Structure 1
């Protein structure tokens, strides 16, 4: 396994996820367009105004005789269906974010295994487990991968080691062309993924969630924090009855603009992970090139 293969695998997976997001966006738009058409029909036909736009009946088959049994039904007007589309679209975006973060974690773990495999000095002794130094030359890449699986506190422990090995990583996290704090992005996405997978994308205590993100990003000191960081985290949730729901839908930028323009929240988060992974790849590659040049002198 080489570094280029690891990076290529991650980028291909991320591209696949982003294309899926585009397909979901397109399908949702088609559904919305159809509902708008129904609204126009209703406006021109007053007698249809109070009729449901959709009637759903849910059923199951009895184990004894296979008879179809209804157990619920619901009627939905156009506004109900619009909301359903948005919530369903958001749920799909949430699961795609979870998937893209897991791909990022896989990338970090493979990169870390690669570092240990190609240069034992990059790993602390605790990562090797109960093995002697004389045995290491016989171990293949898969063995190093298995050791990474046992590493505690991933991915933060891997990132901590990478920052120690490559100080420029910490520098770019704090100051970069995007003008963002990379640590808060990493922490937020990790915790959003946890809530999506384990609690359907709903936080039980948003205030506590926000504080946890800032503490783990080293941005919460004795109860003090930057309001901009708090607002950034809050911007990934809904409002009103959905204030505790993770919301990753597009946000319209300027309602007065001659064309519709949107800020793609999902793409911002997934794009950050791509940029961060690409930078890790670049600094490791550059260090390898520099080391090889030193050896050939």
Structure 2
């Protein structure tokens, strides 16, 4: 996906440069928007002209939207994993499950792991963060969430991506503000207000300018280093890596 977008970006940049060199000021694209009504007649409802710069900007927005939907899909798979992990935990120690969940499944003594997983998948309101809160009863999980070699609070990461997914699916990836988004994560984590670490973490995933309320998952270019290379932070890959690390950590403790 990235290589296709980069080729398209290079192509449109070349077209813009050629137009500028030739002194062409006309729009790069002229659109006439229409549809067929129920009598099969064309109804023209708008027209639009786009410059080369506008096309480049639209390409960036579209690419970011693709990453947003990829993240939403990734988190849905992660939620499935966490639900199954909760089922496995019940098979190991039924006291890990909440009393409400145990009541809903009825008799469970001696049931196999596959049965527990099936019952976990049928629970209402079983989100990844809910499963994580129950799995913290296993030794080591809570400690590794907050103190690990990744230097990030993985508990906060789960709330971060969960809220990102909600905005992507229901609000086209738009938050009222990055500050409000950070405050929501703090509430999820049981904090009265966001810590500076939470604000810094959230700030990495919002754009600037007209995109300052948009979840921004495109690569972030760092300043050139002394060795002459330009280094980038792969935002999507970073979030994906943290979720995989969390899943690996849970698997190792079940």
TM superposition score normalised by structure 1 = 0.77
Among 52, 63, 81, the alignment partner of 2:27 is: 52
The unaligned stretches of length 5 or more in structure 1 are 1-22, 285-297
Residue aligning to 2:129:
156
Residue aligning to 1:123:
97
Across the two proteins, how many residue pairs are aligned to each other?
253
The unaligned stretches of length 5 or more in structure 2 are none
Residue aligning to 2:5:
28
Residue aligning to 1:232:
201
SS in structure 2 opposite 1:210?
Answer: helix
Residue aligning to 2:160:
188
Structure 1 runs of 4+ off > 6 angstroms?
none
> Aligned-pair distance for 1:152?
4.1
Q: Would you say the 8 A contact 1:237–1:244 is kept in 2?
A: yes
TM superposition score normalised by structure 2 = 0.89
Residue aligning to 2:75:
101
Q: Would you say the 8 A contact 1:128–1:147 is kept in 2?
A: no
> Aligned-pair distance for 1:203?
1.1
Alpha-carbon distance in structure 1 between the residues aligned to 2:105 and 2:151? 44
Q: Would you say the 8 A contact 2:224–2:230 is kept in 1?
A: yes
Q: CA RMSD in A?
A: 2.3
Q: Would you say the 8 A contact 1:61–1:69 is kept in 2?
A: yes
1:200-279 alignment to 2 at 5 Å?
Answer: 200-218=172-190, 220-221=191-192, 223=193, 225-255=194-224, 258-279=228-249
Q: Work out which of the two has the higher radius of gyration on C-alpha atoms and give 1 or 2.
A: 1
- Structure having the larger proportion of residues in helix: 1
SS in structure 2 opposite 1:177?
Answer: coil
